[in-house]
Chain A
Amino acid sequence: MSSSEITPKQLYVRRREFLKLGAGSALALSLPAFAKAKVEHGAKLAGVTANPKYALAEEKKNAYEDITTYNNFYELGTDKSDPSENASKLQTRPWTVSVEGEVGKPRKWDIEEILKSFPIEERVYRLRCVEAWSMVIPWDGFPLADFLKKHDPTSRAKYVAFESAVQPQMPGVKGYAGIPFPYLEGLRIDEATHPLALLVVGLYGEALPNPDGAPIRLIVPWKYGFKSAKSIVRIKLQETQPATTWNQYGGGVEYGFYANVNPDVDHPRWSQAKERRIGEFARRKTLMFNGYPEVASLYAGMDLRKFY
């Protein structure tokens, strides 16, 4: 008889959390200067090949420590350092991703099956946050288009909706401020099937660390970071434009559905003309579509000031 038969899982997970919390806060109190979280490295991913088309050799990659300790992941807390400090509050196994809606072959995947079914490539992408900072990150993943194709999208599949995980032990999901969780994001189908759109399972050749949206997340490099949903549990293809978290919050004032990186359209509270690359001192100019002009044709004829 295993202990899991005696103690309900929810309960022992919470107990372990409690013990970790106790030990963690004792340590943090005694050593305030060393309380800064270091994020554990994930398991090495097998068979990752670098895609030379997206090597971005002219740009300097950000350090692992920066990429894993400076994050926005509101389910784990609203400060940049919260996701790394609360990294253990995200349970990444067991993990399933459900693909549903306007598809011929809906399927509920186990994460291990996904990892085995798609060849993983490394792509170095620029990441531009809506808060006017940016990084250069070597992601490991596979095109979202390849993943969607496996499910035979129907002709009514005009949009793709992404839903992130909500777990009761996450400190941020009991939100008082009315941020609706689960976190929802969405893309138009032509955006989702653009070759740049990536489903990411790793970073620097290792399993994706928790603060970065383990075990599987989206990366849409020409859009502000918040469009790239983390810790995805559900992908739904549908005919209508999906509601997104930042669209719903505060009457949609935070940002629109498209959220393409655009130096000419300001955020309500700051300019988007420049950005600070993490690790650099002076701000640099923000590039249209974050320096991915190949996506411009997706928006031909659209007023990007209106559809921001």
Chain B
Amino acid sequence: MKKALVPGAFAACCVPALWLAVQLVTSGLGANPIEALLNDLGYITFVLLALTLACTPAQILLGWNWPIRIRKLLGDFCFFYACLHLLTYTVIDQGFDIHAIAKDVLKHKFIFLGMGTWLLLLPLAITSTQGWQRRLGFRRWKRLHRLVYLAGGLASFHFLLRFKTPRLETLAWMGVIGALLLVRAVEAARRRARVVESP
């Protein structure tokens, strides 16, 4: 059971990509498949980001340790889908029109937030290995990886701005991200209080 956790999570993370590939080939994505692909990839990225952010709170609140064992895997897959999302936007949707993309990023908050999220995830994905953890030293590595909180925030607003009207679904997801960050904040404050009390 314990041995199956990582391979099982790996397989589960591959399912959305395979499902999208099948939909694409069987024209199951409807009249505007490029838009559907872009949106679906963005949604999967967001869900994986939320799952990655949920591992530590699961340990704090429920005492579960197994999510920590797949946290790196979830984070890496989150970046994998973020790359597919970005490639779909830049190459397929915009036809790699650098000028148009640059204008889009600089002029529009919605695109800027999406691009910003990807840029925040990039160094985290690169340094997600144990080698980099050693090279940076655990404390510095940990401080760097706190960028994921900011990524969660930017991604939430990117998701919100995607629609003309704030959707219940998006607001609920923003609530989830907010709650996951809040658990950490409360835990950190408690720990600080304990440090002050203990000596």
Contacts and interface: CB of A to CB of B under 8 A. Distances in A.
Interface of A: 33, 36, 65-66, 69-70, 74, 78, 80-81, 133, 175-179, 249, 254, 266, 268-271, 273-274, 276, 278-279, 281-283
A78 B163 contact: yes
Given A177-B166, A266-B108, A269-B161, A33 B28 contact: yes
Interface string B18-42: 0000000000101110110000000
Given A133-B35, A283-B95, A268 B28 contact: no
Given A254-B164, A268-B108, A70 B31 contact: yes
Interface string B121-149: 00000000000000000000000000000
Query: Range of interface residues on chain B?
Result: 20 to 34
B28 A249 contact: no
Interface in B66-94: 92-94
Contacts of B107: 266, 271
Contacts of B94: 283
Nearest to A254: B164
B190 interface: no
B103 A271 contact: yes
B23 to A, nearest CB: 10
Given A178-B165, A281-B92, 10 more contacts: A69-B30, A70-B30, A70-B31, A80-B30, A254-B164, A266-B107, A269-B111, A270-B104, A279-B31, A283-B93
Interface of B: 28, 30-32, 34-35, 92-95, 100, 103-104, 107-111, 161, 163-168
A270 B163 contact: no
B165 A276 contact: no
Nearest to A279: B31
Name the 6 nearest CB pairs between A and B, nearest first. Answer: A70-B31, A66-B31, A177-B165, A269-B110, A278-B31, A282-B95
B165 A78 contact: yes
Nearest to A67: B31
A273 B100 CA distance: 9
Contact of A133 (B32, B111, B165): B32
13 contacts: A66-B31, A80-B30, A133-B35, A177-B165, A178-B165, A179-B165, A249-B164, A269-B109, A269-B111, A270-B104, A271-B103, A276-B35, A281-B92
